[in-house]
Structure 1
Amino acid sequence: MVPHLVTALTGPINELEQRILDSMPAIERWFRLEWMEHTPPFYSSADIRNAGFKLAPVDTNLYPNGWNNLTRETLPLAVQAAQAAIEKICPEARNLLVIPENNANSTFYLANVAQLVRIFQMAGLNVRVGSIDPAIKSPKKIELPHGETVCLEPVVRSRRRLGLKNFDPCTILLNSDLSAGAPGILEDLYEQYLLPPLHAGWSVRRKSKHFRSYEEVSKRFGKLLGIDPWLIHPLFSHAEGVNLAAGKGLEELESHCDALLTKIRRKYKEYGINEKPFVIVKPDNGTNGVGVVTVRDVKDLKTLARKPRAEAADGPPQIDEVIVQEGVLTRERVHNSVAEPVVYMMDRYVVGGFYRVHAGRDEDESLDSPAASYVPLAFSESVHLPQPGAKPGASAPNRFYMYGVIGRLAMVAASYELEATDPEAEVYA
Structure 2
Amino acid sequence: MVPHLITALTGPINELEQRILDSMPAIERWFRLEWMEHQPPFYTSVDIRNAGFKLAPVDSNLFPGGWNNLTTEMLPLAVQAAMAAIEKICPEARNLLIIPENHQRNTFYLANVVQLQRIFNMAGLNVRVGSISPEIKKPTLIKLPNGDSVTLEPVVRTKRRLGLKDFDPCTILLNNDLLAGPPGILEEIHEQYLLPPLHAGRSVRRLSTHFKNYEEVAKRLGKMLGIDPWLINPMYSQCAAVDGTGGKGLGQLQTTVDALLAKVRRKYKEYGINEKPFVTVKADNGRPDMGIMTVRETKDLDALQRKVRHMMVFGKDGQPASALIVQEGVLTRERVNDAIAEPVVYMMDRYVVGGFYRIHAERGDDESPPDAGFVPLAFEHSTPSPQSGVRPGVSGPNRFYMYGVVARLAMLAASYELEATNPDAEVYD
Deviation for aligned residue 1:286: 2.8
Cα separation, partners in 2 of 1:273 and 1:266, compared to 1, 3 Å: same
What amino acid sits opposite 2:237 in the alignment? S
Q: Which residue of 2 aligns with 1:117?
A: 117
| Deviation string, structure 1 residues 128-167 (Cα, Å, up to 9, x no partner) | 0000111111011100011111100000001100000000
What amino acid sits opposite 2:176 in the alignment? S
Q: Which runs of 5+ in 1 are unaligned?
A: none
Q: Which residue of 1 aligns with 2:354?
A: 352
**Residue range with higher mean Cα deviation, 215-224 or 182-191:** 182-191
Tell me if 1:285 matches 2:247: no
Kept in 1, the 8 Å contact 2:2–2:394? The answer is: no
Q: Which residue of 1 aligns with 2:107?
A: 107
**Residue range with higher mean Cα deviation, 144-153 or 298-307:** 298-307
Kept in 2, the 8 Å contact 1:237–1:256? The answer is: yes
Kept in 2, the 8 Å contact 1:268–1:274? The answer is: yes
SS at match of 2:424: helix
Deviation for aligned residue 1:428: 6.6
Q: Which runs of 5+ in 2 are unaligned?
A: none
| Deviation string, structure 1 residues 230-267 (Cα, Å, up to 9, x no partner) | 00000001112336697442111101100000000000
Kept in 2, the 8 Å contact 1:22–1:388? The answer is: no
Q: Which residue of 2 aligns with 1:321?
A: 323
Q: Distance in 1 between matches of 2:269 and 2:92?
A: 57
Q: Distance in 1 between matches of 2:415 and 2:307?
A: 39
Q: Which residue of 2 aligns with 1:36?
A: 36
Q: Which residue of 2 aligns with 1:362?
A: 364
| Deviation string, structure 1 residues 366-389 (Cα, Å, up to 9, x no partner) | 21x35x211111359577521221
Q: Distance in 2 between matches of 1:232 and 1:27?
A: 14
In the TM superposition, 1:195-206 aligns within 5 A as: 195-206=195-206
Q: Which residue of 2 aligns with 1:161?
A: 161
Deviation for aligned residue 1:396: 1.4
Q: Which residue of 1 aligns with 2:294?
A: 294
In the TM superposition, 1:50-69 aligns within 5 A as: 50-69=50-69
Kept in 2, the 8 Å contact 1:382–1:398? The answer is: no
Kept in 1, the 8 Å contact 2:244–2:308? The answer is: no
Cα separation, partners in 2 of 1:161 and 1:389, compared to 1, 3 Å: same
Deviation for aligned residue 1:31: 0.7
Q: Which residue of 2 aligns with 1:182?
A: 182
Deviation for aligned residue 1:342: 0.2
Cα separation, partners in 2 of 1:270 and 1:112, compared to 1, 3 Å: same
Kept in 2, the 8 Å contact 1:382–1:396? The answer is: no
Kept in 1, the 8 Å contact 2:47–2:343? The answer is: yes
Q: Which residue of 1 aligns with 2:86?
A: 86
Kept in 2, the 8 Å contact 1:383–1:404? The answer is: no
Kept in 2, the 8 Å contact 1:382–1:397? The answer is: no
Q: Distance in 1 between matches of 2:85 and 2:428?
A: 25
Q: Which residue of 2 aligns with 1:340?
A: 342
SS at match of 1:424: coil
Q: Distance in 2 between matches of 1:312 and 1:203?
A: 15
Kept in 2, the 8 Å contact 1:242–1:319? The answer is: no
RMSD (Å), alpha carbons? 2.0
Q: Distance in 1 between matches of 2:62 and 2:2?
A: 26
What amino acid sits opposite 2:275 in the alignment? E
User: Normalising to structure 2: TM-score of the pair?
Assistant: 0.95
SS at match of 2:304: helix
| Deviation string, structure 1 residues 77-107 (Cα, Å, up to 9, x no partner) | 0000000000000000000000001243200
Q: Which residue of 2 aligns with 1:262?
A: 262
Number of residue pairs matched by the alignment: 427
Q: Distance in 1 between matches of 2:355 and 2:224?
A: 26
Q: Which residue of 1 aligns with 2:74?
A: 74
**Residue range with higher mean Cα deviation, 129-138 or 372-381:** 372-381
| Deviation string, structure 1 residues 48-96 (Cα, Å, up to 9, x no partner) | 0000000000100000000001111100000000000000000000000
